[in-house]
Amino acid sequence: MKYDRILIRYGELTLKGRNRKFFVRKLKTNIRMMLRRFPQTQIETLHDRMYVLLNGEPYDQVKERLAKVFGIQSFSPAIRTEKDLDQIKAAALHIVKQAHIPGGTFKISARRSDKSFEYDTQQLNYEIGSHILINVEDITVDVKKPDINVIVEIRGEGAFVSGEVVQGQGGFPARSSGKGTLMLSGGIDSPVAGYLAMKRGVDIEAVHFHSPPYTSERAKQKVLDIASKLAEFSGRIKVHIVPFTEIQEKIHEKIPEGYTMTSTRRMMLRIADEIRKKNDALAIFNGESLGQVASQTMESMLAINEVTNTPILRPLIAMDKVEIIKIATEIDTLEISNRPYEDCCTIFTPPAPKTRPKTDKIVAFESKFDWAPLLEKAVEETETLVIRSEGNEQANDNHLNLF
Q: Please list the residues that pair with 106 across neighbouring strands.
A: 141, 148
Q: Are 252 and 246 in contact (CB under 8 A)?
A: no
What is the C-alpha separation between 134 and 147, in angstroms, rounded?
Answer: 18
Count of C-beta atoms within a 10 Å radius of residue 173 = 25
183 has binding-site annotation: yes
Phi, psi (rounded to 5 degrees) for 358: -95, 130
What is the C-alpha separation between 6 and 270, in angstroms, rounded?
Answer: 46
Residue type, 283: A
209 has binding-site annotation: yes
Contacts of 180 (CB under 8 A, 6+ apart): 197, 202, 203, 204, 205, 281, 282, 283, 284, 285, 313
208 has binding-site annotation: yes
Q: Residue 303: in which H helix or E strand, if any?
A: helix 298-305
Contacts of 67 (CB under 8 A, 6+ apart): 166, 168, 169
What is the C-alpha separation between 72 and 169, in angstroms, rounded?
Answer: 6
Q: Are 379 and 371 in contact (CB under 8 A)?
A: no
Extended strands (E) in 211-261: 236-243
Q: Are 148 and 112 in contact (CB under 8 A)?
A: no
Phi, psi (rounded to 5 degrees) for 347: -65, -40
Phi, psi (rounded to 5 degrees) for 111: -135, 135
287 has binding-site annotation: yes
- The DSSP call for residue 70 is T
- Nearest CA to 180 out of 225, 230, 246, 142 is that of 230
Across the beta sheet with 312-313, what order do the strands follow? 312-313, 283-285, 179-183, 203-210, 236-243, 383-388, 394-396
**Residue positions forming the annotated binding site for ATP:** 183-184, 208-209, 265, 287, 296
**Residue positions forming the annotated binding site:** 183-184, 208-209, 265, 287, 296
